[in-house]
Amino acid sequence: QQQVKQSPQSLIVQKGGIPIINCAYENTAFDYFPWYQQFPGKGPALLIAIRPDVSEKKEGRFTISFNKSAKQFSLHIMDSQPGDSATYFCAASIGNSGNTPLVFGKGTRLSVIA
């Protein structure tokens, strides 16, 4: 049972483009939604995270949009650069009560070409 569904599986954009990665979840008890970035040969690292009390969070060129009613959230990368080429994972967990471990999507491999 996959609790977090991520799409697309891979994405190629031109430098300066705005790649968008989408995730959908099923468990309405989830209340913490992070995105992790993974470069080849490295472990995933936290990029940005959001809680369901806000609809958008921005950190630098990275923005999370959150739609609680649709149970969806997405990552937007503004002015994408070749250095953003990596695999991106969305995740979800129950933070405030059940303290469940993060459940990850299957990942999106992003390539930004110059």
Residues that bind other proteins (CB under 8 A): 6, 32, 34, 41-46, 49, 89, 93-95, 99-107
Strand partners, 108: 88
Burial status of residue 59 (CB atoms within 10 A of its CB: 0-12, 13-18, 19 or more): exposed
User: Measured from the CB of residue 16, what is the shortest distance to other proteins in angstroms?
Assistant: 28
**Judged by CB, which is closer to other proteins: 17, or 22?**
22
Of the pair 17, 95, the CB lying nearest other proteins is at: 95
Q: Which is nearer to other proteins, 3 or 85 (CB)?
A: 3
Do 72 and 23 contact (CB within 8 A), yes or no? Answer: yes
- C-beta of 28: minimal distance to other proteins in Å? 17
Shortest Cβ 30–other proteins spacing (Å): 11
